[in-house]
Amino acid sequence: MTSVVDVRNVSFAYGDSLALEEVTLTVENGDFLGLIGPNGSGKTTLLHVMLGLLSPDSGSVRLFDQPIEEFEAGERIGYVSQKATDRGGTMPVTVRECVLMGRFAHVGHGRLNDEDHETVADALETVGIADLADQQMNQLSGGQRQRAYIARALASEADLLALDEPTVGVDAESRDEFYRLLDSLNRSGITIILIEHDIGVVTDRANRIACINTELYHHGDTESFVESEALSEAYGKTGEIVHHHH
């Protein structure tokens, strides 16, 4: 198996405040990794380190078997940030135009051709928003906008999708549908890293769990996580654990 992300002994501090301490973990090709931990435990920081948006103070990161400093194939990564549901700052473009941007990395100096437009149409179809193609991005609901960002990642042929609490502010029904979409993308071969505060969703969907609170408390398959003490250790006595039962 090829590793998609490989994090070795990574520490990171914001000034004097340590956010990650000696974290080591590997995401393999085809994994669906759930990244969990209490509020402020370093989940977003770790994701940013994994994607090269932050440089660790010590330790090393490899993306697709390349040192992250040398990694240039950004189109292989789709990142849906916490702000994706947010309307503010959304570009004044249509959904189709937004998703078409995913093709730019592939056309080089050439022009977008029929095939690119077909790829975009397919991506919109896959995420279930083909009917919204001509709407402005800033007119969509939070959940629809996230789907558009995922469609853009599919159009760019990303093989890693990283999502930071993608269903905050999304209603329960759309949320279930959204997670079914992630499942089917994962089954089609896309590696997924998901930050999600609802432990039940993560243990239902993910095949691997990383549970952190500055340090890593668990990294491994979901079954061994459920049987371990990692959750209560990482969340401590005061931690608030969200369970969602189906």
Q: Which residues of this protein are in contact with ligand ADP, per CB under 6 A?
A: 14, 17, 19, 37, 39-45
CB of 78 to ligand ADP, least distance (A): 19
Q: Which is nearer to ligand ADP, 44 or 85 (CB)?
A: 44
Whichever of 19 and 63 has its CB closer to ligand ADP, that residue is 19
| Cβ closest to ligand ADP, residue 85 vs residue 119 | 85
- Cα–Cα distance for residue pair 232/147, rounded to 1 Å: 33
Q: Bin 214: left if φ > 0, else alpha if -120 < ψ < 50, else beta.
A: left
Give me the least distance between CB of 165 and ligand ADP, in Å please. Answer: 8
> How many CB atoms neighbour CB 22 within 10 A?
13
Neighbours of 220 (CB within 10 A): 14
Which are the contacts of 137, defined by CB distance < 8 A and separation ≥ 6? 90, 91, 92, 93, 94, 95, 98, 145, 148
Minimum CB separation of residue 201 from ligand ADP in Å reads: 16
Question: Residue 34 or residue 37: which is nearer to ligand ADP going by CB?
Answer: 37
Contact 150, 170 (CB under 8 A): no
We find the least distance from the C-beta atom of residue 212 to ligand ADP, in angstroms, to be: 7
Structure tokens belonging to residue 164 = 């930071």
Distance CA 192, CA 215 (A): 21
Phi and psi at 219, nearest 5°, equal: -145, 115
Closer CB to ligand ADP, 23 or 154, in the complex: 23
Distance CA 215, CA 40 (A): 12
Q: What is the CA radius of gyration of the chain?
A: 18
- C-alpha triplet 181, 182, 188: angle, nearest 5°: 90
Place of tokens 């398959």: 221
- Of 40 and 169, which has the nearer Cβ to ligand ADP? 40
Q: Closest approach of Cβ 83 to ligand ADP, in Å?
A: 13
- Which residue lies nearer to ligand ADP by CB, 116 or 196? 196
Question: Nearest approach, Cβ of 43 to ligand ADP (angstroms)?
Answer: 3
Min dist CB 36 to ligand ADP, Å, is: 9
